[in-house]
Structure 1
Amino acid sequence: MSAENTLPDSLTELLRSTGAALRVFDMGRRISKMPLERFRRIEDSQLPYPTPFQHLAWLAVLIWNPRKRDENAVWFLRLPLDEQGLVAPAARDDLLKRLVQNVINSKNGQLDEDALKDNPYSFTPDQSRMAAFHALAAREMKLQASPHYERAQAWFKGQLPLEQWQSLAYQGLADFIIRLDQENNSTALCQRLSDMPAAVLEMLCPLLENIQPAAPLQQALVQQLQQALTTDNSNRVAALCRALSNITDEVAKQHWVMAVLQSIHARDPEVITVIATRCESALLEPQVLTAFLEQLAQGEAGQAGFSRILAELMFMPVHRALILQAFRNPERSEALGQAIGEMFGQSFEAPPAH
């Protein structure tokens, strides 16, 4: 590729021009495979990015040679979004320009991970998300799980002593969770939950948010959450909220989110943040949203937490409309009214919802 070449219109075009195959993953609020057609429309600013976080689109692009599937590279990209949730074209074009220039300057002329060197649009996921991504990518590519998977599976199935949990690699846990629908893994996890060390459960919960648990596992996790709500362990409550956040039964989700919001844990900063960032679909129910806003206004994170969390939620158009509607409720508490005034100015008059 030479500097004289016309700049490609999109990442998809750039990658396809090299003969590379690609798969795209959404790395926003949770990790999931994104259809290529949807990715093309998102990068062309034709479709809003569905899971904005910190006003950015978070993506992983897996690139490989079709003849050598195990030789692959990954680009972790974060792209700024405009007020409508669309990728900013100027940022996309700047990213493309930087990638092309880095390939031109590189020794091998390849679109490998070095192409992202010193790139302001790249990021490195934390340990939990990196492990979950590698587990999901291996499965999607029909590659074997990591060498740590079998030991983790043996522990969950009771083939290793309970106290040997500390010998399990985090990548092995991630592989096990991503493959819960295989080899009776989900059943093994359900059976292990009752005597599972707290440290293991809290490591598993951020991984569980990336899958949709089967009904028996969902019921077992709800039972764990109900028990945790009677304790003073807010970290465990927040972790279990993450574990349950991706269930498909929205009525059930609203029910347990409401139970959390009515508990002593509702004003804990971590708990309220998890509800806002992982269980946001439950807030589409006005009764749940009202309870959430009231607890947020009186939360331990204070006014800064109230303003930060609401700014994040109001970036999503439907949530914004519902929140503005709730702000106009004459029965809102004095504490909520005061927090709204601090965020928007004392003379706040909710603008019309668009």
Structure 2
Amino acid sequence: MGRRLTQLDAQSFLDIENGSAYAPYPRQQHAWFGIVFWNIQASTQHYIWFIKLPLDEQGLVVAAARNHFLDIIVDALGQSIADDAEKAQTLPDNPYSFVPGQSLLAQFNAMVKYTLDVPINEEAQKVEAYLKAPQLVDWQQISMQSVADFAQTLNNHEKSASVIKAFLDNYTLYANVFANTYMEMCENVALPETFELFCIDNLQREEEVSLSALRALSAPHFNDRINACLKSLLTESASQRIDILSVIAARHFEQMDESLLRVFLEQSARVDELEGHNGALFSGFFSDLVQIPKLRRQVLTLMRSPDRSKTLAQAFDRLFAQARK
């Protein structure tokens, strides 16, 4: 649950837990997990733990922290957690639990229900009705969870094509809150090409950048169109905002080839200077990106590159100076 919601098979999770594999999507020097479990004899009742484990400078789970968490759980609940799932509903106080934000929690719940083949409910069906006839449905009666549940079916709903067409055709008729929520709830869903192109076209209207469209474009693999779109955006003054840079760093790391990484860090350095953060903003983005396994070598190479721009050179010099203090 770090930079995107991704299902992990049992062996991959075990490897990460044991420190033999990197946490794939670290955020704020932690690996973030939502763990769903249940008693086999009562499989309709599910329980969820949200835990975050600290990572070392290489991006591996700190074993001492993992062991400390397990000691807390075993002391409080006993060895057989699954057999005493009632107790497991509420974790004992510990520094490793977290509560996801409303948006992330809605997306997580939607993914879990979809994975476990829980049928879409009537509330989610209201989303389809509003998408197709916004004049006839009160959007204020639709919950964020319902939007997330429906968005999760974007590529597998029997009427997916007509729903997407309706969204594109009726976009200007929707309440802004609903339209932005719907796009945001699609950030962990593979977008059909028409929807992706729509988000790219609507990413920037006049001087305002749509954070919802930017989040919706999050993709699990490199995408030429999204990469080009981000490069263009980062050369414009409209992207000189911390929230925009934060979404790009968090959601679009898969698009960061050498050139996009360079442009992103240059823009981060400019915003740092413009807003008087004295290197703290640039340092934060650098520390965040260097811990992503697939970006670590690129970030370190750029840091030492003789071809880096004056803006980047000054930002890195300041970073080194702060590290020596």
Q: Do they fold alike, i.e. is TM over 0.5? A: yes
1:32 aligned partner: 6
1:102 aligns with 2:76: yes
Candidates 249, 262, 270, aligned match of 1:290? 262
Structure 1 match to 2:202: 224
- Structure 2: segments with no counterpart, 5+ residues: none
Find out whether 1:76 has 2:54 as its counterpart.
no
Q: 1:324 to 1:310 in 2, by over 3 A?
A: same
Structure 2 counterpart of 1:266, one-letter code: S
Residue 317 of structure 1 and its aligned partner are, at CA, apart by 4.1
Tell me which of 157, 163, 179 is aligned to 1:188.
Answer: 163
Equivalent of 1:52, from 14, 26, 30?
26
**1:234-313 → structure 2 map (5 Å cutoff):** 234=209, 236=210, 238-246=211-219, 248-283=221-256, 285-299=257-271, 300=274, 302=277, 303-313=279-289
SS of residue matched to 1:144: coil
Residue identity opposite 1:91 in structure 2? A
Structure 1 equivalent of residue 316 of structure 2: 340
| Deviation larger for 240-249 or 211-220 | 240-249
1:214 to 167, 184, 192: 192
Q: TM-score, normalised by structure 2?
A: 0.88
**Change in CA separation of 1:189 and 1:116 when aligned onto 2, cut-off 3 Å:** same
Is the alpha carbon distance of 1:328 and 1:85 closer, same or farther for their aligned partners in structure 2, counting shifts above 3 Å? closer
- Hey, what does 1:351 align to over in structure 2? none
Distance 1:144 1:322 in 2: 44
Q: Which protein has greater RCO, CA pairs closer than 8 Å, 6+ apart?
A: 2
Tell me if structure 1 keeps the 8 A contact 2:47–2:89.
no
Please report how far the alpha carbon of residue 65 of structure 1 lies from its aligned counterpart in structure 2 after TM superposition.
2.2
Could you say if the C-alpha distance between residues 94 and 220 of structure 1 is closer, same or farther in structure 2, counting changes exceeding 3 Å?
same
Q: Secondary structure at the match of 2:7?
A: strand
Q: Which moved more, 1:79-88 or 1:111-120?
A: 111-120
AA aligned to 1:286 is E
Q: Is the 8 A contact 1:103 1:115 kept in 2?
A: no
Q: How far apart, CA to CA, are the structure 1 residues paired with 2:33 and 2:234?
A: 31
Distance 1:347 1:243 in 2: 36
Q: CA deviation at 1:277?
A: 1.2
Moved more, 36-45 or 65-74: 65-74
2:66 aligned residue (74, 78, 92): 92
Return the alpha-carbon distance in structure 2 between the equivalents of residues 346 and 86 of structure 1: 25
Cα shift readout 1:259-305 (whole Å, capped 9, x = no counterpart): 2112232211111111111101221x222122112111101554221
Q: Map Cα deviations across residues 30-58 of structure 1 (whole Å, 9 max, x no partner).
A: 11211111111111211111000011110
Residue 8 of structure 1 is matched in structure 2 by none
Q: How far did residue 163 of structure 1 move? A: 6.7
C-alpha distance 316-163 of structure 1, shift in aligned 2 (>3 A): same
What do the CA deviations read for 1:82-137 (whole angstroms, capped 9, x no partner)?
2221111111111111111111499x972444451212111111111111111111
Separation in structure 2 between the aligned mates of residue 41 and residue 262 of structure 1, nearest angstrom? 40
Kindly provide the CA deviation profile for residues 206-250 of structure 1, in whole angstroms up to 9, marking residues without a partner as x.
Answer: 32111111222112222222xx2x42223x1x3211110116452
> What residue in structure 2 maps to residue 325 of structure 1?
301
Looking at structure 2, the residues matched to 220 and 347 of structure 1 have their Cα atoms a distance apart, in angstroms, of 43
Write the distance in 2 (CA, Å) between the matches of 1:217 and 1:254: 16
The Cα of 1:164 is off from its aligned counterpart by: 2.1
| TM-score (norm. length: structure 1) | 0.81
- SS at structure 2 position matched to 1:34: coil
Q: How many residues align?
A: 314
Equivalent positions of 1:171-182 (< 5 A) are 171-181=145-155, 182=157
Q: Is the 8 A contact 2:69 2:96 kept in 1?
A: yes
Q: Secondary structure at the match of 2:38?
A: strand
The one-character-per-residue Cα deviations of 1:151-173 (angstroms, maximum 9, x if unpaired) are 11211122x52672222111110
Distance 1:249 1:84 in 2: 23
Change (3 A) 1:134 1:346: closer
Aligned 1:134-173 pairs, distance under 5 A:
134-158=109-133, 160-161=134-135, 164-173=138-147
Cα gap change, 1:48 to 1:162, in 2 (>3 Å): farther
Q: Do the aligned partners of 2:38 and 2:85 also contact (CA within 8 Å) in 1?
A: no
Instruction: Give the root-mean-square deviation of aligned CA atoms.
Output: 2.5
Q: In the alignment, residue 57 of structure 1 is paired with which amino acid?
A: A
